[in-house]
């Protein structure tokens, strides 16, 4: 799951650059969905990016996002009153998963990647 936060009015190109920088060498086909805060439900570039790549987006209420403990961002706290967006949203969309790519910040866009709990291997499965 990919959590995305962004400034108002960013472009699809800005989201694209941050998204693929966070994804690194992982194929796009490994991405199940995007997640963001409810306040971004009408963010045109985010919606266009998701449609372009055929990715569903799940939006979470600010109150729920605020309950997820991740690294705090002073800027996000000052702007919207919670500790962060991309990491908590990625975690919530992952259904009890874990962050596998911590937040990157790039040109007004933040991206974090969480792995679903069901995709994680136990120690016994690895051996």
pLDDT tens for residues 21-38?
999 999 999 999 999 999
Cβ burial of 116 (10 Å; 0-12, 13-18, 19+) is: middle
Q: What domains does the chain contain, in order, with CATH numbers?
A: 2-126 (3.30.420.180)
Whether 34 and 57 have beta carbons less than 8 Å apart is answered as yes
Rg over alpha carbons for the chain, rounded to the nearest Å, is 14
Q: Which pLDDT score, from 0 to 100, does residue 69 have?
A: 79
- Name 105's bridge partners: 110
Q: Which pLDDT score, from 0 to 100, does residue 70 have?
A: 78
Q: pTM for the full model? A: 0.86
CA dihedral 55, 121, 23, 67 (to 10 degrees): 70
User: CA 43, CA 47: separation in Å to the nearest integer?
Assistant: 6
Q: What is the mean pLDDT of each run of 10 residues along the chain (127 residues)?
A: 95 98 93 95 97 97 87 70 86 90 95 80 41
Q: Which pLDDT score, from 0 to 100, does residue 124 have?
A: 39
Whether 5 and 85 have beta carbons less than 8 Å apart is answered as yes
Q: Which pLDDT score, from 0 to 100, does residue 97 have?
A: 87
């Amino acid at each position: 799951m990919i959590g995305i936060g962004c400034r108002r009015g960013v472009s699809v190109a800005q989201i694209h650059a941050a998204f693929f920088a966070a994804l690194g060498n992982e194929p796009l086909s490994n991405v199940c969905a995007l997640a963001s805060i409810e306040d971004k439900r009408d963010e045109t570039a985010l919606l266009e990016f998701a449609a372009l790549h055929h990715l569903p987006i799940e939006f979470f209420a600010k109150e729920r996002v605020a309950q997820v403990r991740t690294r705090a961002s002073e800027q996000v706290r000052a702007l919207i009153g919670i500790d962060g967006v991309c990491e908590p949203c990625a975690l919530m969309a992952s259904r009890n998963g874990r962050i596998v790519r911590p937040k990157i910040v790039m040109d007004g866009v933040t991206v974090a990647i969480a792995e679903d709990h069901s995709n994680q291997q136990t120690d016994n499965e690895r051996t």
